[in-house]
Amino acid sequence: MAKFYEYQGKDIFKKSGIPVPEGEVVKSPGEAKKAAEKLGRPVVVKAQVWAGGRGKSGAVKFADTPDEAEKATGEILGMEVKGLEVKQVLIEEKLDIAQEFYAGVIINSAQDVRGPVLMFSPEGGVDIESVPEDKIAMMNVDVIKGLMPYDTLNMVSSMGVKGKVLRQIADVVFKLFNAFQINDCRTLEINPLILTEDSRVIAADCRMAVDDQALFRHPEMGIKIGREFLKEPTDFDLTGWSFEETDFRGTSYVAQMAPPEEVRKGGYVGYHGIGGGAAMLGMDAMNKVGLKVADYADTSGNPTASKVYRVVKLIMSQPGIEAYFLAGFMMANQEQWHHAHGIVKALREELPKRPGFPVVILLCGNKEKESQEIVKEGLAGIDARIEIYDREHVYDAKFIGGRVKALVDEYRKERSAS
C-alpha cells in the first residue's frame, strides 16, 4: 500500500470539500516560526511520519507563540517515531475542541464483504481499536448502488448526534467516502474529526493509503514505488522497481539494505534469493557466518531470463561487495532455466571486472538438471571462485553459508596480498 503523509491527505480532503485546519508543512525551526507568524494564533506542531500514535510519543506539540513553535519544531525534527525519522512538521492553527469524533473507510477483503466499510464513532481521538463496539457505526457500502447522503445521516444520527452538527458531520463522512473512492484508497481515516467550540467541524488528522494496483491511475500522487516501502527509495531501489514496472512476468523484489559507504568497508555480499522464505534462510545463513547483505533481491514466480539478468546486473553494480550469492533454498516449481540464463549472461559480463570474485549458486527445482548444465557450462573458464550447488544441499544453509564465508576469506587474503 502506498502511504501518504498527513499533510498530503489533508490536501486531498481540501479538494474534496472536507474542512481542514489552516497551515503548512515546513522543514526547519526558522520556517516554522514564519508559518506560525503568518497564522497569527496558537498552533499545533505535528511530525509528518507514516505512523500513528504521534500524540502519545511527543511528536505533536502545542505552541502559543511563533518562538514556541520554533522551539517545538526543533525538538520534533530528527526525532524517531516508530523507527521513522521526522524530517518535516506540519504547522497548523490550534483548534479549540468541543468534541472529537472518528470517521474512516477501509477495504474489508473478507469473503462475505469484499468492499469498502464506512465507520463512524462519537469517541474519536483515541485508537479506534480501543473504542467499544456499540460506539462504532459500520456500514458495508454496496459499490454498485453507491452511497447516498441519507446513509451517512442515518449512520451519524444512530450514534446520538443531533441538530446542525449532525448535518455537518454527515456531510464530512459522505465526502470522505467519495474521496476514498476517487483516490482508490485502501484506508482513509479522520481521527480526530473535531467539533470546535465555535461549532465548526474540521478534520484534524488524516491517515491515508492507496491501493498499489491503482497507482497507475494517479500519476499526480507522485508515488515512485507502488509497494510497501517504509523508506525513501534510493536510486538502487528505483532501478530495481523499474524492472517490475516494465515487465510483469514473474516478480522481482529488490531493495538496498545498506548505504554504499558502509558496503565499501567490507563484510557485505551481493544477495539474491528465490522466494521469500528461502531468501530469509539465506540471509540468516549469512548473518551466522558474520557476513551481511548489501541488498535484498528476490526473483520468483517464474520471472523471465531478462528480468533475472537485470536484477543480477544491479546486484553486481554495488561497489565493495565481496561475493555474489544466489540463495535458492527451495525446490522452486518455476522453470529454473530462466534463472540460469539470466545469471550466466549477467555474470559473464560482470565477473571479468573482478578477478577471483566469490560466486556461490544454489539452484534447485523444475528443470534443475538443465539449469545446472547452463550455469556450469556458461560460467566455465571464468577467472572467479565459482561454486554451484543443487538439490543435494537444498536446505543445507549451514554448509552453503560456510562455503560463501570460506570463499570470501580467500578472496580477501588474495587481495590484501596483491
Out of 205, 237, 295, 368, point to the residue binding Mn ion (CB under 5 A).
Answer: 205
Of 79-87, 185-193, 230-238, 325-333, the segment contacting Mn ion by CB under 5 A is: 185-193
Q: What is the DSSP letter of 332?
A: B
Three-state secondary structure of 257-283:
CCCHHHHCCCCEEEEEECCHHHHHHHH
Cell readout for 352 is: 571479468
Cα 112 to its chain centre, rounded Å, is 28
Q: How far is the CB of 210 from Mn ion (least distance, A)?
A: 19
Residue 191 binds Mn ion, judged by CB under 5 A: yes
Which of 179/193 has CB closer to ligand GDP? 193
- The binder of 320, among Mn ion, ligand GDP, none, by C-beta within 5 to 8 A per type, is none
Stretch of residues binding Mn ion (CB under 5 A), selected from 39-47, 168-176, 198-206, 267-275: 198-206
Q: Which has the closest alpha carbon to 21: 114, 105, 78, 91?
A: 91
Judged by CB under 6 A, the residue of 24, 37, 50, 52 near ligand GDP is 52
Q: Specify whether the CB–CB gap between 384 and 331 falls below 8 A.
A: no
Least distance in angstroms from the C-beta of 147 to ligand GDP: 25
What crossing angle do the helices spanning 66-76 and 29-39 adopt, rounded to 10°?
A: 140
- Residue with smaller CB distance to ligand GDP, 93 or 262: 93
Q: Which does 273 bind (CB under 5 to 8 A by kind): Mn ion, ligand GDP, none?
A: none
Dist CA 405 CA 413 (whole Å) = 12
Strands (E) in 211-351, as ranges, are: 251-256, 268-273, 292-293, 295-300, 324-327
Per CB under 6 A, contacts with ligand GDP among 9-48 are 21, 44, 46
Q: Which is nearer to ligand GDP, 60 or 346 (CB)?
A: 60
Phi/psi region, residue 131 (left: phi>0; alpha: psi -120 to 50; beta: rest), is beta
173 near ligand GDP, rule: CB under 6 A: no
Give residue 77's Cα distance to chain centre.
21
Prior bond of 192 cis (ω within 30°)? yes
Residues 119-148 as x/- pattern, contact with ligand GDP by CB under 6 A: ------x-----------------------
Judged by CB under 6 A, which of 70, 171, 205, 295 binds ligand GDP?
205
Q: What is the grid cell recorded at 184?
A: 482508490
Of 81, 92, 98, 74, the C-alpha closest to 38 is 92
Does the footprint of ligand GDP cover residue 192 (CB under 6 A)? yes
Closer to ligand GDP by CB, 84 or 159: give it: 84
Least gap, CB of 44 to ligand GDP (angstroms)? 4
The binder of ligand GDP chosen from 97, 106, 221, 406 (CB under 6 A): 97
Contact set with ligand GDP (CB under 6 A)? 21, 44, 46, 52-55, 60, 94-95, 97, 100, 125, 191-192, 204-205
